[in-house]
Chain A
C-alpha cells in the first residue's frame, strides 16, 4: 500500500528534525523517514556540541550567515525547547607569530561576518581565563556556547511530533521516482519489508547519506567523501577548570577546526575530533594511531606532562560532499532538483550545521512557500509540549545509574518518550535521553539494573534488548529454560 503524504523528509538528524518542526505549523501531512532506530544516531549525535559563533566561515557564505543567525537565536530556541545551553565563550590558542597572524585574520573575518565579542588575548589574559591552558596568543569569542546535541536533536523531534509530524524509524530509502502526482519513494524497513510513499515534496536531509539519496535521482553530480572524526571522552572533573571550548589555530589545508577540548554541559571534557578520509561512510571505528594523536593534540593545549582519564572513545562521519570532479562543496547547498520538481536536496551540511539547523529549516520552509516568507516563530514558541515531558521531571524511584544519578522514573520516561516518537526503545536511545550508563563506569554497574527495569516495567524482554536497533541485541538469549519461556 502506498502511503500518501505532503512532505517527506529523509533523515531524523538535527537538520531533518528542525525542518519537520518548522513545517509542522502549516498543518500539512509531514513524514520523516529515518534508517536508524531513533533520532540523532548519525552525525548529529557525534560532534563537539558547540554552538559556533561563525567567524571560521568565509564571509559571504551561507555557512557564515546561517551560523550567525543560529547563534543569535540559540538562547530563545533553547528556552522554547526546554533544553540546556551555556554561552561559555571560546578560545582559539596559538604559540607562534604566524599563529598570531592567523588569529588576527580570523578576527577580521569574524568582524566582516558581523560577529561581535571577538578579542585577541595575550598569555596573561589566557592564563587568567583558563589557568590549565598553555598558549601565547588567543582569539576570544564571547558568542560561542555549548549544548547537548542528543538533547537538542530529540527536543526538535519531539516538538515536531507534538505538531503532528509522523516519524518512521528503521526505514531506509532505496529509490526515488517522479510520478504524475508527486515523487514516489521506496524504502525498506529494518525487518526487510518494503514501504512505499507518495509525496509532493521530498527533502533530502540525510547528512552523510545525502549524496547517496541525490544519486537516486539518476545524476552523479555529487559524491560523499567520508571524513571521520574521532573523539575521546574524559571523566568528569578532568582538568576541572576548563570551562569553555579551546581550539588550536585551524589548519586551512585540512578545512577542519583541529583537535580541540570541549567541556560538556554535564562536566566531562571531550578531546577531538581528528579528520581522516575513509572509504566507508558507515565506518565509525576508532583507530590506534588517531587515539594517540588525540592525546597529543590535547597535550599541545594543556602541556606535555598531563595524563587523561578516558571513559569512552567514539567517532562520527562528517557529511563532506565533493562534486564529480573532486571539487569539495565548501558551503551549505540547498537546492531544488531542476528535473524533479518538489525534490529539495541539502548537501554539505557539515560544521556548523547543527548551530545553523533552525536557520536552514527556515530557509527550506521559505523555499516551499510561494511568497518566500518564513513561518511565524510564535506558533512554535507557544506549542504545547506536555506530550513529551522532560525526563528530569520524571525523577523518582530507585537510583539506577550512580555515575550520572539517573533514577527509575527517568529511565521509564525515556522509554515512553522514545515510544511516543515512534522510535524503538534502545539502550543508546535511553542513554541519549537520560544519560543512564553515560558516566565513568559506562554501564558496568547499571546495565543489569536497567535490563531488569525494562523487563519488569517497560515490557522489553532482556533477550530482545538492543544497543541501537535490530541486530545489536545486547544478549544472545535466555540461560535456563529458554525453550519453554
Chain B
C-alpha cells in the first residue's frame, strides 16, 4: 500500500491545475495518477485553437494550453505515475480513501487522506442512442475520430454524416473538411445547436456545412462499411443520405464509474463532475476543488463541518443544477436562433452581441473591429498536422490568423510536407507561410 496525503486522479487540465494549486498551498505529499504515458488528457488531441482566452488571455491550441500546466507541474516537482489506470476508488475503514490502480508493475493499492477526481468524461456511444440498422465499420465517436486523425495520422472517412452538434462534432466537421473529406451534414435532434455559437460559426458556417436541427438519424445501412443513413426531420419527412462514415457527437458523460458510492474526502472537478464548455473553466474547477480539499484536510479533527460543492456527496445535486443551467441556456439560444444580423464577439469572454448592420453592441472598440472583419474579410488561425521525416504526426498552427479563404490552400500545401529532424514545441517550421510574415509553428514537439 502506497500512502500519500492527496492523490489526484488524472493529469488533464483539471487534475494538473488541482495538483499545482495544492502544491502552491504547501501540500507536498502529492501524487498524480495518469492512464496515458504523458500529461494533457484529451488536450493532446485537441490541436485546434480557442483555449486559454480566460486563463492566459491568449488564443492557444490544446497542446499549448496543456504545456502551460505541464511546465508548472514539473517546476513544482509534483510526481506523476504514468500508464496507471485507476480501477476503483473506495472509502477506507478509518476515514481515508483507498484507490486501486493498474500500472506498469501490476495492480497496486494507494491510500490517501483526500483525493481529487479529475478523470474527465466519455462520449455517448451508438448503443445508448437506440439507432436502428446494422453495425458496420465506419461508425465512431467524434473524439475517437479526432484522436485517430491527430495522433495516428489516419483518415477516418470520405463522406461523413455527424450525429449531434456537440462541440467536438463541430470542431471535427471543420477538420474533416480541411483535410479533404466531405461533411454532408450535422444532424441535431434538438431545435438549437448543441455547441458554442463560436464553433457553430467557425466550424460549420465558414465552410457551408448544413446543420439540420430537429432531426434524427433513425437508421444506419451497410453490411461491411456504412453505406447510407436515413434522416427523419421533425415533420416526419425522411431522406436517405449516402455516406461511408457516421461520427457521433451526441453527449458526454462524466467518467466516474470506478468510484464506489459516496467517498468522504473525494473531490470531483473538471468534466468528471459535469461537462464544461471551456477548458479554462475545467482548470478553474480543478483549482477550486483543490482549495476545498485543502480546507477538508486542515479542518479534520477540529469538529468543524466544511462544505464543498465539489465533495463526493454533493455531486448529484451539482449535476442537477448544471442540467437546469444547460436547459436555461438552450432557451436563450432559441430566442436568438433566427437572428442572422448579430454575431457574438469572441475576442474576449464577454461575448458581446454585435449588430452586423451598424456594428453596434460591443462593450469596447475591439468588438466593432472584430465585427467589421468578420463581415468583410474574416481571418482564422490555421491548425493541422504535418509529418516528421520519420512519419510522426506533429500538430502545427499559424502564429497569426490568415484569411479564411486561404485555410484550405494552407492544408493542401502541407499534405506532402515533411519536417526534417526532430521538432521542438514552439519551433517555427515555415516562415512566410501562405501570407508574408505568417509563421507555421509546431504546437507539440516530436517524441524523438
Contacts and interface: CB of A to CB of B under 8 A. Distances in A.
B244 interface: yes
Contacts of A445: 122
Contacts of B158: 476
A470 B221 CA distance: 18
A479 B149 contact: yes
A288 B132 contact: yes
Given A442-B127, A479-B393, A285 B134 contact: yes
B435 interface: no
Interface in B125-155: 125-128, 130, 132-138, 140-141, 143-144, 147-149, 151-155
Interface in A447-485: 447-448, 451-452, 455, 462-463, 466-485
Interface stretch (B1-9, B63-71, B320-328, B411-419): B411-419
B224 A469 contact: yes
Given A312-B127, A483-B416, A286 B132 contact: yes
Contacts of B277: none
A480 B157 CA distance: 14
A156 B152 CA distance: 36
B11 interface: no
A310 B130 contact: yes
A443 interface: yes
Contacts of A481: 153, 387, 391, 415-416, 418
B141 A444 contact: yes
A405 B87 contact: yes
Given A442-B127, A448-B144, A472 B224 contact: yes
A150 to B, nearest CB: 15
A313 B123 CA distance: 17
A177 interface: no
A80 B12 CA distance: 47
A357 interface: no
B123 A451 contact: no
Interface string A228-249: 0000010000000000000000
B144 A479 contact: no
B213 to A, nearest CB: 21
A480 B415 contact: yes
A402 B123 CA distance: 14
B219 A484 contact: no
A447 B102 CA distance: 19
B437 interface: no
Contacts of A233: 127
A447 B144 contact: yes
A440 interface: yes
Contacts of A476: 155-158, 244-245
Contacts of A466: 137
Interface string A268-291: 000000000000001111111001
Contacts of B149: 479
A448 B151 contact: yes
Given A405-B102, A469-B224, A444 B386 contact: no
Given A442-B127, A444-B143, A480 B87 contact: no
A394 interface: no
Nearest to A471: B224
B381 interface: no
Nearest to B83: A398
- Interface magnitude class on chain B: 35 or more
Given A444-B141, A472-B225, A478-B154, A451 B125 contact: no
A388 interface: no
In this complex, which of A233, A286, A444, A470 has the most chain B Cβ atoms within 10 angstroms of its Cβ? A444
Given A442-B126, A444-B144, A479-B393, A451 B152 contact: yes
In this complex, which of B85, B127, B221 has the most chain A Cβ atoms within 10 angstroms of its Cβ? B127
Given A282-B223, A448-B144, A480-B393, A399 B85 contact: yes
Given A474-B137, A475-B148, A481-B418, A313 B130 contact: yes
B387 A285 contact: no
A205 to B, nearest CB: 23
Nearest to B133: A285
A176 B438 CA distance: 69
A451 B148 contact: yes
Contacts of B87: 405
A473 B179 CA distance: 19
Contacts, number: 147
Nearest to B257: A440
Contacts of B37: 398
Interface string B375-386: 000000000011
B35 interface: yes
Contacts of B415: 480-481
A462 B152 contact: yes
Nearest to B414: A480
Nearest to A482: B155
A471 B225 contact: yes
A472 B245 CA distance: 12
A480 B387 contact: yes
Nearest to A461: B154
B218 interface: yes
B104 interface: yes
A477 B179 CA distance: 12
A11 to B, nearest CB: 19
Contacts of B257: 403, 440
A121 interface: no
Contacts of B244: 476
A288 B385 CA distance: 40
B157 to A, nearest CB: 5
A312 B218 CA distance: 15
A56 interface: no
Given A479-B149, A485-B391, A441 B122 contact: yes
Contacts of A311: 125, 127-128
Given A285-B132, A448-B148, A472-B136, A398 B385 contact: no
A479 B176 CA distance: 10
A204 interface: no
A273 B97 CA distance: 43
Interface string A118-145: 0000000000000000000000000000
A197 interface: no
Contacts of A355: none
B427 to A, nearest CB: 18
A320 B155 CA distance: 41
A291 B157 CA distance: 28
B440 to A, nearest CB: 14
17 contacts: A285-B219, A310-B127, A310-B130, A311-B127, A402-B85, A445-B122, A448-B148, A451-B148, A462-B154, A471-B225, A475-B155, A478-B154, A480-B387, A480-B393, A480-B415, A481-B153, A482-B155
Given A282-B223, A485-B391, 6 more contacts: A288-B218, A398-B85, A441-B122, A451-B148, A467-B137, A474-B140
Interface of A: 233, 282-288, 291, 309-314, 397-399, 402-403, 405, 407, 440-445, 447-448, 451-452, 455, 462-463, 466-485
Per CB-CB distance, the 7 closest pairs between chain A and chain B, nearest first, are A471-B224, A312-B127, A399-B85, A442-B125, A467-B137, A472-B224, A472-B137
